């Protein structure tokens, strides 16, 4: 007696399609997370640069107000804004006084600092 094979290719085909869809979802989720990190970093950089420029002419209070405006314009929320000195960081040279900011974009946190050599 011979068994009927009708439909066996359909099962294999559906399995392959489901595997491809699952892989696409995993890749898509990873890419979305990576892009969110880049958006947060860019927002932090722009916020710090803008705030540092204002701080040179108007002081820390005005700079943090500007930082909040720039963060909001980049769909971010400013969570910290403070004076930083280059010698107190791992990345700034001695003699640099600037501003450090932390922002949150859709749950992703990023920090940046900017300043001018005195």
Q: Which CATH class is domain 8-117?
A: alpha beta
Q: Within a 10 A sphere around the Cβ of 31, how many other Cβ atoms?
A: 10
- Provide the residue ranges of all domains of the chain, joining segments of one domain with +: 8-117
Share of the chain above pLDDT 90, in %: 37
Q: Rounded mean pLDDT of 25-49?
A: 87
Q: Rounded mean pLDDT of 53-78?
A: 92
How far apart, in whole angstroms, are the C-alpha atoms of residue 15 and residue 8? 11
Q: Rounded mean pLDDT of 30-57?
A: 88
pLDDT digits (tens, 9 = 90+) for 95-108: 777 889 999 998 89
Containing 52, the helix (H) or strand (E) segment is helix 8-58
Q: Quick one: pLDDT at residue 10?
A: 82
Q: Rounded mean pLDDT of 56-69?
A: 90
Tokens representing residue 36 in the block: 């969110």
How far apart, in whole angstroms, are the C-alpha atoms of residue 110 and residue 40? 5
């Amino acid at each position: 007696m011979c068994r009927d094979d009708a439909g066996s290719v359909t099962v294999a085909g559906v399995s392959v399609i489901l595997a491809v869809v699952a892989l696409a979802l995993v890749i898509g989720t990873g890419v979305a997370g990576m892009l969110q990190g880049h958006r947060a970093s860019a927002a932090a950089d722009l916020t710090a640069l803008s705030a540092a420029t204002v701080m040179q002419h108007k002081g820390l209070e005005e700079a943090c107000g500007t930082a909040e405006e720039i963060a909001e314009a980049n769909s971010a929320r400013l969570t910290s804004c403070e004076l930083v000195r280059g010698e107190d960081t791992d990345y700034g040279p001695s003699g640099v006084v600037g501003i450090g900011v932390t922002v949150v974009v859709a749950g992703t946190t990023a920090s940046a600092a900017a300043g001018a050599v005195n």
